[in-house]
Structure formats: structure tokens, C-alpha cells
Structure 1
Amino acid sequence: MHLCYLSDLTLADASNLVRLYTNDTTRKYLGGPLEVSLAQTRAHTDINTPSKLPIWAIRSSTDHNFLGIISLDTHHDGSDIEVSYELLPEYMGYGYATQALEFVLNYSFNELNLKKVIAETQTQNKASIKLLERVGMVFEKSVERFGSNQSIFFITSHQYIDKHK
């Protein structure tokens, strides 16, 4: 059963994106909440600026509500592709992020033919680490970035295929 689905961002998502980007709980391990004006600018950019790699809205399968976002982008190292996700706090802990991450990994390996996808999360973010491990990602290394210890996880296309046989 699909709890959620992914769709393109639309203008109707702008207020939810601002809510997401300014939320203390959502942004706790992402450098803190953004100021409203910066969040509005980022929301506008995310909705209106075409990018090489996708950013999707995560939506509830039952009522189509906006739950959060998930995206693929070039990692800080400049070579790897990173998956990132943010959920509104009222939707955390229900399996939406797990399912969204599974959708994106499937897309990454079966549509984009990527060989590897990474994720970076603050080492203190235990829920995110559990999520990454749940979908088969493996700890690679720790780095100091943004004033905090970050854990980098990865999964290769072979690992993903083996997990889903």
C-alpha cells in the first residue's frame, strides 16, 4: 500500500514550503529555520527554477496533502548525487519518508541509471540515520561541516538491486 506519492512542486505549494523551511522541528538538523523572506525566496526558486535533478513534493495518497519534499542534487563533494528530504513535523514517524526515499532510490537506479546515491545527515539526527539504514544505505564516513559532525551514507545500484530481489 502506498502511503504517499511524489509530484512536481506547484505554485499552490508555496505556503507549505515556507512553513517547512521556517519550522523549528523540521530544520533542527538543517541549520535551523530560515527567516520568512529567505524561505519565500527559496520556495519561489524551488517551484520556478528548472534544475537538472528533481525536487518533488511528498503528498499523502489519501488526501493529497503536502507532507514535505525530497530531492536529488549534486553533493558538496561535487561528484556524488545526494538525496535530501524534509517533512513537516506532523507527518514524521508514519513511514512517509521511508516510502518517499524508496521511490527516489528506485528512480535513481532504474530511470537515471545512477551507480551510487549518498545522503548526508547530522550525526545527532538519530531518526534520519535509522531511516537511511532502513532503506539499505550504509555508513561511509564522518565529516565536519556546517559546524557539526555529519554522517555520510551511501547505497550503490548493486546493493539496491540485491535488497529488492
Structure 2
Amino acid sequence: MKTIYSERLSLQEVSQKDAESLFHIWSNPEITKFMNIPAMTRVNQAMDMIQLFESLSQEKKGNRFTISLTETKTVIGSCGFNYLDYENDRGEIGYELDKEYWGQGYMTEALKTLIHLGFSEFALNRIEAKVEPENVASQYVLKKIGCKEEGLLRQYEKAKGTYIDLIMFSVLRENL
């Protein structure tokens, strides 16, 4: 099981042992507001999501890491590559953080670590993220880690039964 460390955090590949902690996060409607899933109501939904992440990792099509405070081992969120496209050397990141830890620089630290992994270990050239226009905090974090806004993708995705616009952000290996 792969673990990556930053100054305050450890990122470890998700496993079923994380189900309770991630359910706590994924069941909060304020956190899932900008995710393409509804707030979870049962822990087995978190287990199913983790199983999906594990199969993506085994197939080398994506991966997901829990974000934990190194000092206390408390799980505070997750992040990872929603997909990895090795033919074009690119990947898309996704992430969320427990509300209790918002505004403390944890996601910026975790995503810097994830992006370094993408460029160094996965040999990616481009890492992208898609964000809803109303998710200003996420846009701020992406800009802080070096991503550039590329434009609006109109009605790009269907989330919770509605077509939504997304803003495309990316960072290139040559930009870091």
C-alpha cells in the first residue's frame, strides 16, 4: 500500500478500512454539494465507492488516496486521479476535505503532493481539474497550486439529474 508524505499530511491509497472515516465526509451535503455524488446515507455506499477506486487503481486507470494528519492519523479527506490517460500523458484530479479542516491549507498541501506524484511517478505532461463555477474555494486552491483556468465547458456533465457547467483548469509539467 503506497503512502506519500508532505509536511503535515500522509496520503495513503484508499482501502476498506477507511470506509467509516470517508463515509463521515461523503455523507455531509455541504461537502458533496460540488461532487458528482449525492450525500451518502449508508456506510456501504462508501465501501462501494472505495471498491471502485481500488479497481481503478488495479487497472492503472486512476487512484485515490486518503488524506490524513500525519501526527494524529485522522482522516480529513481524499484526493486522487479520477482517470489516468497514459496514451496522452494526462490525468484528472478530484478531491474533497472534511469541513472541519477547510481554510487551513491542507488541500493545497495535499494537491501539491499529488501533482508532484503525477509528474514524477506517472510521467504525466498535463494534470487537469473540472470545477463548478460556484465552487470558488476550489478554484482558489487550483490557482494556488499553479493551475490555469482554460475556459467554461457548458452543460458538460450531468450531476444529480441536472446538466452543469464546469470550468477546466490545468497545469503542465513545463509550468512547474
Q: In which range does the TM-score fall when normalised by the shorter chain?
A: 0.7 to 0.9
Match of 2:166 among 143, 150, 155: 150
1:73 aligns with 2:82: yes
TM-score of the superposed pair, with normalisation by structure 1 = 0.85
Q: What does 1:74-153 correspond to in 2, within 5 Å?
A: 74=83, 80-143=90-153, 144=155, 145-146=157-158, 147-153=163-169
Report the Cα offset of residue 110 of structure 1.
1.4
Q: 1:16-55, aligned counterparts within 5 Å? A: 16-31=21-36, 32-36=38-42, 37-47=44-54, 50-52=58-60, 53-55=62-64
Distance in 1, matches of 2:73 and 2:55, equals 21
Q: Which amino acid aligns with 2:151?
A: K
Structure 1 residue 47, shift from structure 2 partner? 4.9
Q: In structure 2, list runs of 5 or more residues that go unmatched.
A: 1-5
Residue 59 of structure 1: aligned partner: 68
SS of the counterpart of 1:106?
helix
- 8 Å Cα contact 1:14/1:44 also seen in 2: no
Structure 1, 30-39 or 147-156: larger mean CA deviation: 30-39
Question: What root-mean-square deviation, in Å, do the aligned CA atoms of Structure 1 and Structure 2 show?
Answer: 2.3
Identity level (%): 21
Length, aligned pairs only: 159
CA contact (8 A) 1:11 1:47 kept: no
Q: CA deviation at 1:10?
A: 3.0
CA distance in 1 between partners of 2:122 and 2:147 (Å): 18
In structure 1, what is the equivalent of residue 19 of structure 2? 14
1:15, CA displacement in angstroms? 0.6
More strand by share: 2
CA distance in 1, matches of 2:170, 2:9: 23
